[in-house]
Amino acid sequence: MSAGQSSKGTTRGYVVPIGGGESRRRNPTILRRFVEICGDSAAHIAVIPTASKRADTGPRYERVFRDLGAETATVLPFKSRSECYDERNLAVLEEVSGVFMTGGNQVRLSSIIGDTPVATRIRTRHLEGLHVAGTSAGAAIMPEHMIAGGESGSIPRVDMVEMAHGLGLTDRLVIDQHFRQRERLGRLLAAVAANPTAVGIGLDEDTGAFIDANDLIEVVGSGGVTVVDPTDMEHANLDDEDDDAPISLIGLRLHFLIEGGAYDITTRTPYL
């Protein structure tokens, strides 16, 4: 994902990964902001609860978005890959101004919608201005390189992170969630070491990264965003024969940003 316009001259929509555990009732800052960028009272939002096995996940977010003033909120409960080829579901994605992917299991989400017309439609419409948000698993799937799983801990190891193919809304980021709450610094460092062209962002709970068409990240929410920049990385011993041994990393830059902070992915520059 690079800044600017699509080949049709349209402006790309926002990408909004959220770290999970976002406030939905008491102080729904992140979700309210998403509704606003989707058109506020004219917002049409499709909720994709596929990552979750709970039957009430989709309807719960549907109610939240309507309570926040969206004109419509429609649940698209893709439970099988065959449903991702249904023209009625694809027609809904043509009409909405925003897509929201819930939490759950990102591998489940990827295995059902990955490489289907739904994934293609979301990517195409995003280039035309569709805003795409996701919380927890819905955030993890957004990049080209998805963190599929791994272990907690602050010290990176080769075997600490499992990677898989994501939705592909960006090839410039690797995203992790529930970040400080589940002590995931080690696996994000391991993921960045294995994909050194991408910036790593770790999203705390109740924290979102609003990424605009110019690849500028704005932090919104009560937690923070950890940014791991590998631009000047000089060494990473990923070829160590012992997969459970710590990885030596030299030259990484690390930033921690709270609400109001920003980060330019293109220039790799943080702002307060």
Exposure of 230 by Cβ count < 10 A (0-12 exposed, 13-18 middle, 19+ buried)? Answer: buried
Query: Which residue among 22, 62, 205, 218 is the active-site one?
Result: 205
Residue 160 has phi, psi (to 5 degrees) of -80, -20
d(CA 178, CA 109): 18
128 among known catalytic residues: no
- Contact 112/50 with Cβ under 8 angstroms? yes
DSSP lists the bridge partners of residue 120 as none
CB half-sphere exposure, 45, CA atoms < 13 A: 36
d(CA 136, CA 21): 8
Query: Which residue among 131, 145, 178, 255 is the active-site one?
Result: 178
- Contact 221/259 with Cβ under 8 angstroms? yes
248 among known catalytic residues: no
d(CA 14, CA 131): 5
Query: Which residue among 136, 145, 218, 255 is the active-site one?
Result: 136
Give residues with Cβ within 8 angstroms of 246, minimum separation 6: 155, 156, 157
136 among known catalytic residues: yes
* DSSP strand pairing (262-264 vs 253-258): unpaired
Q: Report the catalytic residues.
A: 136, 178, 205
